Amino acid sequence: MLRREFLVNTTGALGAMSLPGGLSNYFNTTKMGIVVHSYAMRWKSKITSSQYPSFNDAIDLLDHAAAINAGGIQVMVNDWPADYSKKFRDKREKSGLYFEGSITLPKSVNDLALFESQVIQAKEAGASVLRTVTFGPRRYETFKSFKSWTDFKKQALFNLQLAEPILKKHTIKLAVENHKDFRSDEMLTLFKSIESEYIGSNFDFGNNIALLEDPIVVLDRLAPYVVSTHIKDMAVTEYDKGFLLSEVPLGTGILDLKKMIDICKKNNPNVNFNLEMITRDPLEVPVYTKDYWATFMDTPATDLSNIMMWAKDNKKQLPKISSLSDQDKLKVEEENILACLAYSREKLNMN
């Protein structure tokens, strides 16, 4: 099966084509979902708040997503009790929301049993796709030599090769996020090395800015592999060691969201757009330090200059929340998410 066929040859897409208005009608009824990381402060929070209570499990998040008129959720599948999948599925089906699982890759054959059990639970709960990362921390903060980076790339490929037969057995797709680790050419090489219809991209709209890549360039390369997304808008500005990078409410940053959404839909009409609006202080990307460059041996100088021009052109102060009270942090988090959902309905035709 060709990659393009894998992405578009589904009953949902065929059904959408038969509706009045064709695919455009289908797109206009797509609602934006929410990634659990959008609620980084509220997820299993220790803060006592009557207005912004903690989400203690996936059902809490699902209920809240339905209440604020989101389209679905992407949330972790781990530590679920044996009967949790059925409870979650019953709730999800009543709400009409979609569900994407988030899962950890196996690192050795000893992890395969746990990995398969979580795949089964996610599928029983109604997951349409599973999201994962090859690495949690940021590349430029972790790897101090080019060899350590190349060793990691080999391990990442091995982990995906371990997972692939289980994905194939249970006929569910795994979406690998570009998680401030692989540049787009490296991730493309990873996908081509595996070449499985069950492994594709969870395309994050903004992460690769931290790796000095224009998001449109990244998407153009990864678009044929996109099976899920983290949609966000981004802002950048200079600081003494490089640039600051921040998620901001949709429509207030530098990304061409409409163009990026169109590219995703063109390559995969069934793709979900999962909002990842992380409310936090800006991230420091120290491109003027020696350590940052330890793993970027062949990065063109033009990539650095292009990103720094964006940073120089932005004269706005990026949002910071560290000085706020816990209650105000929760308030801003919710306001940002609601603003993004409103923008998606009003400007992005996600009704």
Question: Can you read off the two tokens belonging to residue 184?
Answer: 């787009």
Question: What is the spatial distance between Cα 87 and Cα 83, in angstroms, rounded to a whole number?
Answer: 7
Beta strands 130-132 and 174-177 are parallel
pTM as predicted: 0.90
Nearest CA-CA partner of 275 in 71, 88, 91 = 71
pLDDT for residue 25 = 33
pLDDT for residue 15 = 38
Question: What is the spatial distance between Cα 275 and Cα 231, in angstroms, rounded to a whole number?
Answer: 5
Nearest CA-CA partner of 101 in 123, 121, 130, 80 = 130
Which amino acid does the sequence have at 115? F
**β-bridge partners, 244:** 237, 284
pLDDT for residue 106 = 97
pLDDT digits (tens, 9 = 90+) for 228-258: 999 999 999 999 999 999 999 999 999 999 9
User: 148: part of which helix (H) or strand (E)?
Assistant: helix 146-169
**β-bridge partners, 82:** none
pLDDT for residue 256 = 97
Q: Which residues contact 94 (CB under 8 A, 6 or more apart)?
A: none
pLDDT for residue 16 = 39
Low-confidence ranges of the chain (pLDDT < 50): 1-29
